[in-house]
Amino acid sequence: MTIESAGTYTLGDRTVRRIGYGAMQLAGANVWGPPADRAGAVALLREAVALGINHIDTCDYYGPHVVNEIIREALAPYPEDLTIVTKIGFFRGENGSWDEAYSDADLEKAVHDNLRNLGKDVIDVVNLRLLGDGEVRPAEASIEREWTVLARLREQGLVRHLGISNATMAQVREAQAIAPVVCVQNMYNLRMRADDAMIDELAAEGIAFTPFFPLGGFSPLQSSILSDVAAELGHTPVQVALAWLLRRSPNILLIPGSPRIDWVGENLLAGDVDLTPAALEKLDGIAAAETV
């Protein structure tokens, strides 16, 4: 497993390896409650860091609170090079619902909850997770008030850097006029490619793009083209799909999640996949050839 072959990128003043880890699956079913094997989750995180992962994506509403508490148990005191990215903008109802939380008080509370449950004095990166269309697609709306709250928390030293999730380019621009944006986290993968132009624009400005659902999310990627290319290259479809993202643009950071350490190790091999020109041509055509 050679995570170094995937290279690094910067999040503000933090240098991270381009393959990280998304911690959502460390919670129980439906991202609610504790995992069936808490000790196993702790061991997984420790092994992931030992393998070279230094970028972990989390959220205090995973559980809620459970995943951040597991991260603290597993990794605190944290390695100096470990960057933890969280997101705010929602809370979990008593029935497991995902409820928006964008008031000034909600946003401030979310930052403090993350600090407490992670056991940190400052959060490396906080992403403002926007509601969008109510699903997983961005929708235009002003974020001036919300971003101003986060900018104030950054000035207070509670947050090192700020990012946006589920955002449009206009919202990125609005935010940048108030405080710097170091990353954008939107849905993007071999099939879902609405953000092609955004990725290129962000790359030109040195802003990271972190795809959520890089492997399809709740509807895992099922593509005969992807399967055929993977077979030809001697890798798994997951490794090839992640390799395509790494190849797509140097500012793309990956945060695939898995509850199993052997799968985490397999994901790291994406950096070693040699995508031939013929393979790239086939993969590039998936979005047009198949119905989303």
The answer to whether 63 touches 161, Cβ cutoff 8 Å, is no
The reported pLDDT for the residue numbered 290 is: 58
Alpha helices in the chain (DSSP H): 38-50, 66-75, 104-118, 144-155, 169-176, 196-204, 224-233, 237-248, 261-268, 277-284, 286-289
Q: Is 129 helix (H, G, I), strand (E, B) or coil?
A: strand
Which of these, 244, 272, 249, lies nearest to 6 by C-alpha position? 272
The reported pLDDT for the residue numbered 81 is: 97
**Residues in Cβ contact with 198 at an 8 Å cutoff, skipping those fewer than 6 apart:** 169, 172, 184, 186, 209
The answer to whether 172 touches 138, Cβ cutoff 8 Å, is no
CATH numbers and ranges of domains, the chain: 7-218+248-272 (3.20.20.100)
Tell me which of 62, 78, 102, 188 is the catalytic residue.
62
Phi then psi dihedrals of residue 233, to 5 deg: -90, -10
The answer to whether 252 touches 18, Cβ cutoff 8 Å, is yes
The reported pLDDT for the residue numbered 221 is: 81
Gap between the Cα atoms of 240 and 233, Å rounded:
9
The pLDDT tens digits for 138-197 are 999 999 999 999 999 999 999 999 999 999 999 999 999 999 999 999 999 999 999 999
**Residues in Cβ contact with 160 at an 8 Å cutoff, skipping those fewer than 6 apart:** 12, 13, 14, 122, 123, 124, 125, 154
Report, as ranges of residue numbers, the positions in the chain whose pLDDT lies below 70. 1-2, 218, 290-292
16 forms beta bridges with 9
**Residues in Cβ contact with 86 at an 8 Å cutoff, skipping those fewer than 6 apart:** 57, 58, 59, 60, 68, 114, 118, 123, 125, 126, 127
The reported pLDDT for the residue numbered 2 is: 67
Asked whether the whole model's pTM tops 0.85, one would answer yes
The reported pLDDT for the residue numbered 137 is: 86
**Residues in Cβ contact with 235 at an 8 Å cutoff, skipping those fewer than 6 apart:** 243, 269, 273
- List the structure tokens of 65: 């609170």
The answer to whether residue 188 is catalytic is no
User: In this structure, which long-range contacts are made by residues 28-35, counting pairs with CB atoms below 8 Å and at least 24 apart in sequence?
Assistant: 28/63, 28/66, 30/96, 31/62, 31/63, 32/63, 32/92, 32/96, 33/63, 33/66, 34/63, 34/66, 35/66, 35/70, 35/259
The pLDDT tens digits for 267-278 are 999 999 999 999
Which of these, 281, 270, 206, 262, lies nearest to 238 by C-alpha position? 270
